[in-house]
Structure 1
Amino acid sequence: MKVMIIEDNQKKIDKFTSHLFSRGLKKDDIIIAKNMSDFAAKLNSKIDLFIIDFYIPYYNDGAPQPNGLAIIESITKSGSGDALLIAISSYPDEFPNLREIYESSGCILSDFQQVAKWKSTLDYLLMQLKSKLSFDFVIFCALEEERNPYITILDNGQDVIRGGIDCYDIEISNKRGTVVVLPEMGLVNAAIYAGMCIERFKPKVIGISGICGGFKDKVDLGQLLVSSLSYEYQSGKWSDNQFQQTPYQASTDHHTLTMLKSLLKAQNLILDLEKDFIGNRPAQTHQPQAVIFTSGSAVIASDDKLHQMSNFHSKVSGVDMEIYAIQQAAKISQCMPKNICAKVVVDLCDNNKNDELHAYGSFVSAKFLIRSIDKLFSEKENYEIFS
């Protein structure tokens, strides 16, 4: 969580930060604004809790002014109206005149001299935040190896275990999210954890990155694939020795897919995504594509099985163990987040399987997810696709 302390008195700042540290917050979780200029510049960050002083100067070394109400109004207008507010003041004599207007804005008043009381109130607010923690986006990875690139590419991450969910919290362009490693590969684990995380964290976007298989003559080793539609190849009916497939489908919504296709067409995209990667690379690069995926919980290493799967949909190109579950979870959830599913082909579902391109595929797909999420949230400002 992020806390902004709007206070010009360093002794009070030290008291607040010391208490927050004792409750598990880290230095990067706390933003300090010592004047209105600082406050305005830092308000674009995602803030969960504001600790406010009544009197704040407009600029460095300026005289303190009664800016408390202006601060609250700015917070509301900035879109942070769901943040929690507490005003901790050294002037309790002013509370009777201010209480009604502050509390009508959801701001609790507390006397700085009554240390035990403001600490107790602050603890209560922190508990509220922990119980209603939300993220702008959640990314899933089936393997630890697939999550590792987010740790190396971004320098703002933090490991957290939440109710048994293995999270790595990150920020992308001031949007807060987490990268979740599934306990096991496969549709069942992906569906359960995607549903659980959507319900708990209420993200606007979910996604998955990592490695996948590909259909021969349709894709190439090392090629980045983005899911436009996915279906489950395991659903259907067995009768005697015959399996009649009933492939349930889920898709990427039109606005998101249009944005993703635009990104895939960017000049030198693969060169940009490969930048800073150290390790084995494909013999040659291939144009990324938006394709149809099929998903199931079994590893495919059979030409006959691939042929049967491709008979259902002539344009299916990628095969993996999780994408359909991620897209279906987004589709049927109450908040219906957008979904971005991108993986890199590391084998052609035959007996020639090895891990030579695993690190490459994990890195390139993770970097594409980061770029896509950044683009999608900027698109929100232009096209209101999250309305």
Structure 2
Amino acid sequence: MRILLVDDNSPRAEKLTEHLTHEVMCSPSDIDLVTDALSAREALKSRIYDLLVLDVMLPFRADSKPEEGTSVDLLVELYETGNLHRPGHIIGITAYEAAERSVSADFSSRSWVLVRQDSMNDDWMRTIANAVSYIREQSKEEAREYGVDLVIVTALQLEMEAIRKLPWSWSPDEALDDSQFFLKGTFKSGGQTFSVVAAVASRMGMVSSSVLASKLIRTFRPRMIAMPGICAGVRDRTNLGDIICADTSWDYQSGKHVTKEHARSGFQMDPHFIPVDAFVTARIDQLLRDEEFALDVWRRWEPRRLAPPVLHRGPVASGSAVLADPAVTDRIKTQQRKLLAIEMELYGVFLAAEQAARPKPVALGLKSVCDFADDEKNDSAQSYAAYTSASFLREFCERYFSDLS
């Protein structure tokens, strides 16, 4: 399990880490320690934690003074926005009786327990250790089996509307938590009925989609997590409406900016590539050969102004900005010469699946081309691309999902 300890009291943090290491056999590498709220936010953006131990009196940044409101603000952000990965459990800790009284209401509504540290005994550490043991056993119990079969994440309402139009017996929207809704449905494959949950992220981009994907994986434990939608294709390799199945994804902005005296370029690339599971690639290669299905998809769309869609399998890069500059596409090609498409979310979803607790879901990315990362944007092409992406996702699931069960 992963633990984030946010505490600017170094002796206390070291003592607690040592206690957890010896009493409940936590590996030191499973405990991340930060000393201020800003560092905690960065950790909660990039990693998924099972437990957050949060000091009540916390500085906002390393060079500021500890304040009660800082920890409360972090709790509010965890619960009321989709910006951070919210841990499964949160424990507050303080050595001050006045601080405990001051934040008691805020912590009791948003955390598991508020622990009062007493320098005269170790009861506070035993309380946290017992919590760790409970979470570990609970995780083992939950991990014995999958929950739902398929989770679908989209970044745009346009993409979700295309999913809603699939004949999958969708139910009315339900609340997942204070900031997120989802819908449930079912589909058939190989004579069996499979469950599906779908949700749309609150914002575009890797962070929002990764947070949502992590939340859905933790809640529903799916066999597969899929992201359909729209993307920018590489011109001369793809056409509008073509579907791209990502066989690998990465953040093309990952790296280091340096002064030119240290490198020929001002940016040193360091991408982390996430490959897709062989279950996906083997079956996509089968679907690639079915040209008649692609024609059926094309015939069902009116008006038919674009060519019939073609399914491709290849590298898809993710970044944090909408692109309208072909020169940027050329630079991304230097990271992966076979690049087929660029979009803003897929790497975050793949990363959430890769870092999920067992049983891990298989990740699938099926995005359709709506432009070529230049200034020629076309709203009608977006609708068509969302439609072809959803159609191919439906065909993939109804044709092959029974192989996964």
Cα-to-partner distance string for 1:76-114 (whole Å, 9 max, x where unaligned): xxxxxxxxxxxxxxxxxxxxxxxxxxxxxxxxxxxxxxx
Question: Which of 166, 183, 192 is the matching residue for 1:168?
Answer: 183
Give the conservation status (yes or no) of the 8 Å contact 2:240–2:385. Answer: no
Distance 2:323 2:330 in 1: 11
Give the conservation status (yes or no) of the 8 Å contact 2:182–2:198. Answer: yes
TM-score when normalising by structure 2: 0.59
Give the conservation status (yes or no) of the 8 Å contact 2:176–2:182. Answer: yes
Distance 1:271 1:176 in 2: 28
Cα-to-partner distance string for 1:99-141 (whole Å, 9 max, x where unaligned): xxxxxxxxxxxxxxxxxxxxxxxxxxxxxxxxx9932110011
Distance 1:363 1:178 in 2: 19
Secondary structure in 2 aligned to 1:148?
A: helix
Alignment of 1:356 with 2:380, yes or no, is yes
Distance 2:294 2:161 in 1: 19
Distance 1:354 1:219 in 2: 16
Give the conservation status (yes or no) of the 8 Å contact 2:168–2:187. Answer: no
Alpha-carbon shift at residue 282 of structure 1 (Å): 4.8
Distance 1:278 1:161 in 2: 34
Question: Which of 276, 288, 310 is the matching residue for 1:287?
Answer: 310
Secondary structure in 2 aligned to 1:268?
A: helix
Match of 2:159 in 1: 146
- The letter for the 2-side match of 1:197 is L
Alpha-carbon shift at residue 341 of structure 1 (Å): 0.8
Match of 2:208 in 1: 189
Give the conservation status (yes or no) of the 8 Å contact 1:226–1:291. Answer: yes
Which has the higher mean CA deviation after the structures are superposed, 187-196 or 214-223? 214-223
Alpha-carbon shift at residue 142 of structure 1 (Å): 0.6
Distance 1:150 1:225 in 2: 17
**Aligned residue runs from structure 1 range 237-316, under 5 A:** 237-240=256-259, 242-279=266-303, 281-316=304-339
Q: What runs of 5+ residues in structure 2 fail to find an aligned partner? A: 1-144, 261-265
Give the conservation status (yes or no) of the 8 Å contact 1:273–1:367. Answer: yes
Instruction: Tell me: CA distance 1:215–1:282, structure 2 relative to 1, closer, same or farther (3 Å).
Output: farther
Match of 1:325 in 2: 348
Instruction: Tell me: CA distance 1:278–1:161, structure 2 relative to 1, closer, same or farther (3 Å).
Output: farther
Match of 2:19 in 1: none
Secondary structure in 2 aligned to 1:153?
A: coil
- The letter for the 2-side match of 1:166 is F
Instruction: Tell me: CA distance 1:379–1:133, structure 2 relative to 1, closer, same or farther (3 Å).
Output: closer
Give the conservation status (yes or no) of the 8 Å contact 2:295–2:309. Answer: no
RMSD: 2.0
Distance 1:247 1:376 in 2: 31
Give the conservation status (yes or no) of the 8 Å contact 1:220–1:345. Answer: yes
Which has the higher mean CA deviation after the structures are superposed, 266-275 or 333-342? 266-275
- The letter for the 2-side match of 1:367 is S
Question: Which of 206, 230, 234 is the matching residue for 2:225?
Answer: 206
Distance 1:204 1:253 in 2: 12
Q: What runs of 5+ residues in structure 1 fail to find an aligned partner? A: 1-131, 381-385
Cα-to-partner distance string for 1:322-361 (whole Å, 9 max, x where unaligned): 1111112111211221111111101011111121211111
Give the conservation status (yes or no) of the 8 Å contact 1:222–1:282. Answer: no
Question: Which of 326, 338, 341 is the matching residue for 2:365?
Answer: 341
Instruction: Tell me: CA distance 1:216–1:193, structure 2 relative to 1, closer, same or farther (3 Å).
Output: same
Indicate the percent of aligned positions where both proteins have the same amino acid: 26
Give the conservation status (yes or no) of the 8 Å contact 2:252–2:271. Answer: yes
- The letter for the 1-side match of 2:294 is I
- The letter for the 2-side match of 1:161 is A
- The letter for the 2-side match of 1:243 is F
Cα-to-partner distance string for 1:206-259 (whole Å, 9 max, x where unaligned): 001111001122212221111111111011001126111111111211122101
Give the conservation status (yes or no) of the 8 Å contact 1:235–1:245. Answer: yes
Question: Which of 231, 251, 269 is the matching residue for 2:250?
Answer: 231
Instruction: Tell me: CA distance 1:155–1:326, structure 2 relative to 1, closer, same or farther (3 Å).
Output: closer
Instruction: Tell me: CA distance 1:171–1:255, structure 2 relative to 1, closer, same or farther (3 Å).
Output: same
Give the conservation status (yes or no) of the 8 Å contact 1:140–1:179. Answer: yes
Question: Based on CA coordinates, which of the two structures has the bigger radius of gyration?
Answer: 1
Secondary structure in 2 aligned to 1:316?
A: coil
Alpha-carbon shift at residue 275 of structure 1 (Å): 4.8
